[in-house]
Amino acid sequence: MPASLRDQLQICSSLEDIEKFISIDVLPPEYGGRSPFKLGEAEEEVELRAFVMKNNAAAAAAGGGAT
């Protein structure tokens, strides 16, 4: 793994560790957060998933592949 990526990773072993980086209010309840959305159901996640699927389908149709 490149050092530039490794330096950006944070390993959290508790909810208190996670709170240093992510607000509990936006963390899905599956991870102990208070977001009203389950994992994968937030509007941004749904839109991103649709965008990626559309682009992957277009690449496949053009003879390319998703990488």
Dist CA 64 CA 57 (whole Å): 9
- Same structural domain for residues 29 and 2? yes
* H helix intervals, 13-42: 15-19
Domain span at residue 26? 1-36
- Same structural domain for residues 26 and 46? no
Dist CA 23 CA 15 (whole Å): 10
Number of domains in the chain: 2
Dist CA 65 CA 63 (whole Å): 7
- Same structural domain for residues 30 and 45? no
pLDDT at 65: 63
pLDDT at 63: 85
Per-residue pLDDT of the chain (67 residues), as tens digits, is 899 998 999 999 999 999 999 999 999 999 899 999 999 999 999 999 999 999 999 999 998 665 5
